Structure 1
């Protein structure tokens, strides 16, 4: 039977559904999952523990309103522009509710939006970004007839940060522009974010998972005009978020948390740049740059074999070939503490059969 527009084969669907947690088995040094902390910070655990006694009651409208108000104050928008989510991925699962006629998904990027749209029978066209052009977004590459456009900023897995003005040019009447800003709070100053801008038809999606070590809780939010949010959320069940998720959202938007996040983003950027330089000094390792997110995209000849040899040494990295536009020579690595980054660099040096220090090779002209 011929496949209809918007359908994918089973193999395609499995690839779109592959995420870094599959690569990171317990006991491995984890460079596959883009979560900064392996547990929430003490102050956040205290806030969550304080909410445990409320679990005997259904989440209240007052709790929902408090969390939405915290998000709204954080971004300088009215509370009616906020939709609280059970993780940013919930927003992608809701996109078919907007009934797009043609969705354009910019790639390489996070694959869950395409999976959700295709699974609902929505026709999807891929907009591939050119590696020779640094995977940079060109607004003219998006089909004019697309009434939904989905992209990430900064983009997973390329670590590219697109200029906000380039993204704004994609917005137009009759089109929903979905901007996945799951890693925006890991960019110092949250530069190029559209979260504070109320632009007609623009839907900004945020996650709290990455910065605050909350993948097991599922907490995020979307920002858009109230009419768009109402259409997006029309089919949600009652009580879509639990008490702990509501508490986490409010806690992570207060002033102390924002200060801590900005300090963490600055540290991450410094660690990333040093990590990128060390990796780029290795023979046969190409590091895509400039990088803006808390991860790096690498291209290594024989990448599949390299991944397996790293795993044998107790190190997990994210395979790249499940991202449309990349192949088995691509891997994504999260930025960790310098001492952990050094373990990966040394393991790669040994696997690739290198000798000598990365500093010596840097002096011979290795670049990021």
Structure 2
């Protein structure tokens, strides 16, 4: 009804989709061309740790055989122990991207994606002809999600926690779970936050799916390894269109290795280091004229740049040999936003100085 304040508030927080499929499928690896210092991709390290490389190399002699059901079972067992679940509540994936590609199998009638957020779930849904509604968070509110902004009739809700690219950890996501709705929480970066606060990986809520990725913390982007957690019946619906042997032998072994207690402890120690590096980088960037640093917890930072200057600044930084992630491909953000990966202070200093130089003479 015209003039209804509730209706006005809903329209302010939700929108029909406007981004094109090409834009939705732009990811940071496109920005990080060879030869550039990579602050565009959120993978930690230049290669997997030596112990993990040795573990994977030891499986190479098995590549003449098809991936086995026993190997998959052992991977599900390892994940289940890691999160206090049963093996039946685990589905091993060829990276979270495979899980997003399977979402159309759930046949949602009203899919909602919280934005700014990772765009691959929406791209997969739209590619299957499924309409998508955006629920937009706002910078002036710290990009925090108000669960009441999600339409009540949504039968699929997708949200990142922490969200990419804002780095925000949302409270109150449990309130979004209800019978008749699938709540997909993308926790690709949860293990990079000390203590994994807010994780729903160990919880059993109606319709809950939790996606986890191993590619960021363990530098395995080229291998593709991850998993989803949820009710076995819901996992069966999600997996229905998969081909036989969807996850290769190396991927299965990576899931086992990275779920073992020593690996979980190593990831926790890395998360502590990343938190310290994040704080250092955020302080340095916030001191630059006209740069706004979005508060958050993830191993990346969302930056606001002086109005109308984002593209020029990004290209100037690129000419110095540094790649940052453009953010106008994320619904709700524009060309004056960039995302930068957290790196150790000695590497981050080059980014700070490049931005400082690019800002000279820019009106703020």
- Do both share a fold (TM > 0.5)? yes
Aligned counterpart in structure 1 of residue 189 of structure 2, from 183, 195, 199: 183
Aligned counterpart in structure 2 of residue 277 of structure 1, from 283, 291, 295: 283
CA offsets per residue over residues 300-320 of structure 1, 9 Å max, x none?
Answer: 121111110011000000001
Q: What are the equivalent positions in structure 2 for 1:12-23 lying under 5 Å apart?
A: 12-23=20-31
CA offsets per residue over residues 29-74 of structure 1, 9 Å max, x none?
Answer: 0000010022111000000000000001011111000000000000
How far apart, in 2, do the equivalents of 1:161 and 1:140 lie?
17
Match of 2:89 in 1: 81
Q: Give how far 1:348 is off.
A: 1.0
Q: Give how far 1:8 is off.
A: 7.4
Q: Does 1:203 align with 2:209?
A: yes
How far apart, in 1, do the equivalents of 2:358 and 2:178 lie?
50
Q: Give how far 1:347 is off.
A: 1.1
Match of 1:297 in 2: 302
Residue-pair matches, total: 345
Q: What are the equivalent positions in structure 2 for 1:103-114 lying under 5 Å apart?
A: 103-114=111-122
Alpha carbons of 1:88 and 1:143: their partners in 2 closer, same or farther (altered >3 Å)? same
User: Taking structure 1 as the reference length, what is the TM-score of the superposition?
Assistant: 0.92
How far apart, in 1, do the equivalents of 2:338 and 2:135 lie?
21
5+ residue gaps in structure 1? 1-6, 355-368
Q: Give how far 1:143 is off.
A: 0.5
CA offsets per residue over residues 63-102 of structure 1, 9 Å max, x none?
Answer: 0000000000000000000000000011110000000001
Match of 1:3 in 2: none
Match of 1:360 in 2: none
How far apart, in 1, do the equivalents of 2:139 and 2:285 lie?
19
Match of 2:354 in 1: 347
Alpha carbons of 1:285 and 1:8: their partners in 2 closer, same or farther (altered >3 Å)? closer
Aligned counterpart in structure 2 of residue 147 of structure 1, from 130, 133, 155: 155
Match of 2:5 in 1: none
CA offsets per residue over residues 185-234 of structure 1, 9 Å max, x none?
Answer: 00101110000111120000000000000010000000000000000001
Q: What are the equivalent positions in structure 2 for 1:213-292 lying under 5 Å apart?
A: 213-289=219-295, 291-292=296-297
Secondary structure class of the residue paired with 1:67? helix
Secondary structure class of the residue paired with 1:310? helix
How far apart, in 2, do the equivalents of 1:125 and 1:350 lie?
40
> Post-superposition, which runs of at least 4 consecutive aligned residues in structure 1 deviate over 2 A?
none
Match of 2:38 in 1: 30
Match of 1:338 in 2: 345
Q: Give how far 1:131 is off.
A: 1.2
How far apart, in 2, do the equivalents of 1:8 and 1:180 lie?
20
5+ residue gaps in structure 2? 1-15
